[in-house]
């Protein structure tokens, strides 16, 4: 029985969020292939995890007997998030671009699960786990576009998820999501529609491919 860890971080609900909509399409396709599987779901906008604190940080490098009560409590919250990652057979993350980067709630989750000597280091505990990131954005930051240099979502997440946690990373990128609402971007609506269609198709295809890969 496969377990999917599904994380949303958009502040917008339901279909108002491109990352949520595409992630939901992936999850539905996944559940169709795994009707008896498990899904661990975290909505970081509705129920944010604590930002990393000194107690939570230092507790990760102290022996249990040396931790203060505050450190023990803070570390227990981190361990719960870490264990969810370690127990997952696959991870799905909705990561919209806010001000050229990821939501602070998603950064807080990453800060909690990154623990040198366990999830990070020579042998990361979740190494090889496939992770699909739905990296939606209002404009386009693809190579060759005017704002290519402002792309700090995929670059950052590749460094953290792949380079540090050792996860098997893949992206789905719905872009130009502001085009239907911004008159100045009206000529880009066809490109937005094509990107949206491709993102939903990719979500379904990648979910099916991943379930087949895990079953093999």
pLDDT of 36 above 90 = no
* pLDDT (0 to 100) of residue 215: 80
- Least Cα distance to 134 among 47, 37, 207, 38 occurs for 207
Give the number of other Cβ atoms within 10 Å of residue 158's Cβ.
Answer: 15
pLDDT of 216 above 80 = no
Kindly report, residue by residue over 66-95, the tens digit of the pLDDT.
Answer: 999 999 999 999 999 999 999 999 999 999
pTM: 0.95
pLDDT of 62 above 90 = no
Kindly report, residue by residue over 131-183, the tens digit of the pLDDT.
Answer: 999 999 999 999 999 999 999 999 999 999 999 999 999 999 999 999 999 99
User: Rounded to whole angstroms, how far apart are CA atoms 65 and 195?
Assistant: 53
pLDDT of 212 above 90 = no
Q: What is the mean pLDDT of the chain?
A: 95
pLDDT of 30 above 80 = yes
Q: How far, CA to CA in Å, does 35 sit from each of 11, 30, 129?
A: 29, 8, 20
Give the number of other Cβ atoms within 10 Å of residue 6's Cβ.
Answer: 21
* pLDDT (0 to 100) of residue 102: 98
């Amino acid at each position: 029985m496969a377990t999917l860890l599904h994380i949303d971080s958009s502040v917008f609900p339901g279909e108002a969020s491109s990352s949520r909509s595409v992630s939901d399409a992936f999850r539905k396709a996944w559940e169709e292939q795994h009707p008896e599987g498990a899904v661990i779901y975290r909505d970081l906008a509705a129920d944010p995890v604590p930002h990393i604190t000194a107690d939570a940080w230092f507790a990760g490098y102290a022996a249990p007997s040396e931790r203060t009560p505050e450190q023990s409590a803070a570390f227990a919250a981190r361990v719960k998030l870490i264990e969810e990652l370690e127990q997952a057979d696959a991870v799905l993350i909705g990561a919209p671009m806010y001000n050229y980067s990821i939501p602070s709630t998603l950064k807080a989750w990453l800060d909690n699960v990154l623990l040198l000597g366990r999830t990070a280091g020579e042998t990361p505990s979740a190494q090889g786990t496939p992770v699909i990131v739905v990296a939606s954005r209002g404009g386009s930051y693809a190579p060759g576009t005017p704002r290519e240099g402002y792309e700090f979502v995929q670059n950052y997440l590749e460094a953290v998820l792949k380079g540090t946690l050792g996860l098997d990373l893949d992206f789905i990128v719905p872009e130009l999501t502001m085009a239907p609402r911004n008159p100045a971007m009206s000529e880009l609506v066809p490109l937005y529609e094509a990107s949206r269609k491709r993102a939903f198709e990719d979500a379904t295809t990648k979910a099916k491919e991943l379930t087949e890969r895990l079953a093999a």
